[in-house]
């Protein structure tokens, strides 16, 4: 996740790094405007909160002395609406800034070489020799779909994209892996297998009668 401090204190430097490493254009002026508004409203909100707390304490002290608190209460009521509006505005600004930050890609480490695509990757180590095949190599999605064992089209209708329905041997393999995990942890790692009731009672009703 991107360091929020970079957004707040170094937006121009961040924008340049994103441009050169990711090809991403960060709207620095919009971000700086939002951040300036956030700081201004946050300061005012904290001032109003501090004032509310101090005047509320003064009301309690005045009441304890039997003094008239109507003037203090009127003062508190006078800035209550401003405080509420300020808190709402501050939340909205934070949401806008967060929305921008969530759309910014992560920065690569400083030692990662610049490159346009995967062809510019630098090989760090190699183990073994890649196998050579005399036929077209298919990925697991193509292999599964060929026999109808991986059904992404049906899954998309049920749950959305990036899901799949498993059928036949792949479904059995999936179940076997889950069974293997349960057997391993209950048999060797000290876990206890538990099958809870299918229904759970609601919160008990308390009898408030005397």
Do residues 98 and 188 both lie within one domain? no
Number of domains in the chain: 2
| pLDDT score recorded for residue 206 | 58
**Is 202 a member of any domain?**
no
For residue 39, give the nearest of 89, 101, 109 by alpha carbon. 89
Tell me what pLDDT residue 59 has.
Answer: 81
Tokens found for residue 180:
């293997």
Domain that residue 164 falls in: 138-194
One domain for residues 39 and 83: yes
pLDDT value, residue 176 = 97
Over residues 136-148, the pLDDT tens digits come to 999 988 888 888 9
pTM: 0.52
Q: Is 50 exceeded by the pLDDT of residue 210? A: no
Task: Give the CATH number of the domain where residue 19 resides.
Answer: 1.10.287.40
> Which pLDDT tens digit goes with each residue over 88-138?
999 999 999 988 888 888 888 888 887 777 888 888 899 999 899 999 999
Bridge partners, residue 171, by sequence: none
End-to-end Cα spacing for the chain = 56
Instruction: Say yes or no to pLDDT of 207 above 70.
Output: no
H helices of the chain, where? Answer: 4-9, 11-22, 28-64, 70-102, 140-146, 152-159, 168-188
At residue 151's C-alpha, the angle toward residues 148 and 152, to 5°, is 150
């Amino acid at each position: 996740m991107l360091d929020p401090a970079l957004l707040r204190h170094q937006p121009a430097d961040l924008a340049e790094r994103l441009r050169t490493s990711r090809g991403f254009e960060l709207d620095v002026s919009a971000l700086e405007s939002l951040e300036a508004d956030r700081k201004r409203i946050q300061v005012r909100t904290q001032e109003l909160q501090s004032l509310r707390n101090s005047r509320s304490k003064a009301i309690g002290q005045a009441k304890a002395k039997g003094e008239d608190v109507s003037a203090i209460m009127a003062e508190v009521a006078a800035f209550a609406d401003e405080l509420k509006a300020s808190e709402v505005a501050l939340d909205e600004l934070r949401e806008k800034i967060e929305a921008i930050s969530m759309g910014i890609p992560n920065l690569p480490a400083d030692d990662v070489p610049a490159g346009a695509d995967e062809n510019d990757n630098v090989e760090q180590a190699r183990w073994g020799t890649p196998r050579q095949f005399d036929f077209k190599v298919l990925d697991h999605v193509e292999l599964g779909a060929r026999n109808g064992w991986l059904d992404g089209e049906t899954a998309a209708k049920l749950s959305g994209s990036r899901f799949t329905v498993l059928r036949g041997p792949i479904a059995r393999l999936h179940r076997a892996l889950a069974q293997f995990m349960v057997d391993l942890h209950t048999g060797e790692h000290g876990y206890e297998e538990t099958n809870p009731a299918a229904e759970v009672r609601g919160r008990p009703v308390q009898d408030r009668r005397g």
